[in-house]
Amino acid sequence: MRTMSEILDVNSIKRAAQLLSDVVKRTSLDHSSRLTNKFGVDVLLKREDVQLARSYKIRGAYNFISSLSDQERAMGVVCASAGNHAQGVAYSCNKLGIKGKIFLPATTPRQKRQKIMEFGGLWVEIVIGGHSYDDASLAARRDEIRSGSVFVHAFDDPRTIAGQATVGVELLEQLPTPNVSTVVVPVGGGGLIAGIALWLRSQRPDITIIGAEPTGAPSMTKALANNGPIALEQMDSFVDGAAVGRVGDLTFPIVRDLVDEIVLVPEGAICTEMLELYQNEGIITEPAGALATAALSRIAIDRSKGAVVAILSGGNNDVSRYSEILERSLVHEGLRHYFLVTFPQEPGSLRRFLEEVLSDGEDIVVFEYVKKSNRETGPALVGIDLESPDSLSGLLWRMQNSPLEIEQVPPGSPLFTFLL
């Protein structure tokens, strides 16, 4: 049997590109006027958000499953996924006529679950396995042992990585000019960035490769600091497509050796970029899909060396999440703030708060009594939107000089999480 290093090389990526050329969509490489103007350098977007199943994940899934022997195909496949890999597996199972069982974390958006069934049809079965990708992965591994099915890894397998690497193959073929300085890639388990890094280092070693990882799930950052994959003790699963508790044993050394830098991007900044992409370019991304473009503000761009490419990795976003996306964005931008205000239970107390504490351009967007049993006072949760983050200092000054008892609820605090 060949070792992983023998399976995963430049030739395996070339074979994957040839195989997938008749299967996946050759996604466009688009110029972004907004980001170009913002950063003073040409910014190009690799549009995997419009890929089949609206994510690059189909590349790795199909490349993996198509490699199975007849005996393995007869046993079927099993996988764990936060949603996008599952859609790729479902599509591949249906296309190749192979039974598949797909384990999803409970946090997987409903829209993704529905798409999985649409792509897989009668060929796939969905099972909810825990609250995180790693919980689902453990459940899928147990099923693999019990049933004898083949486990299709979302990122830590040579065949998956080679499939994801074809994003990089297309990218270099599509560049309008060789004058490109940087490629920014979203990071979850590391399959996409490992594959792209392998290809770029073999073809264009001069290009800087930067990974973008969500602050709430810094699994690759922790692995690099530890010099090896390490399980996160806690994780924010909001960026579900990149919320992986432990990076791959195979992807880690590739990223360590070939990637120049990993930057962390706050979830609020990702939400702001999602809204910018939608409102300005008309592009719908999921949180992980906006990671790379959101990271541009956090990297040093050498404008003299040429264009920057950002990978938009996926567009599977449930419309029901936009209220939370807007909320996180406003809080991150300093435009929404929350306070606990203790009002005397007497006529006119709310009016005095409005007249004496609030100023022009400051609007109450949330008002909810937290406790009503006290007859003398009534604590309320008050959310206030500002026209500019610079207005906060004036608002806090007026609050300090108010006879009311007012406590700010800082973002990220346990109290903030509990109330909202």
Contacts of 235 (CB under 8 A, 6+ apart): 132, 216, 217, 219, 243, 245
Buried b / exposed e along 98-112 (16+ C-beta atoms within 10 A): bbbbbbbbebbbebb
Residue tagged 């006119």 (tokens): 348
Residue pair 104/316 in contact by the 8 Å Cβ criterion: no
Q: Quickly count: other Cβ atoms within 10 Å of residue 315's Cβ.
A: 21
Q: Where are the alpha helices (DSSP H) in 204-290?
A: 219-226, 251-258, 267-276
Residue 313 annotated as catalytic: yes
- Quote the tokens at residue 397: 């000054």
The CA distance from 51 to 35, in Å, is 22
Q: Where are the beta strands (DSSP E) in 279-376?
A: 307-312, 336-344, 362-369
Residue 57 annotated as catalytic: yes
> Active-site residue among 81, 149, 237, 313?
313
Pairing of strands 362-369, 377-386: antiparallel
Beta bridge partners of 182: 208, 308
| DSSP at 183 | E
> Active-site residue among 32, 55, 57, 67?
57
- 3-state secondary structure (DSSP) of residue 406: strand
- 3-state secondary structure (DSSP) of residue 350: helix
Q: Report, as residue numbers or ranges, the catalytic residues.
A: 57, 313
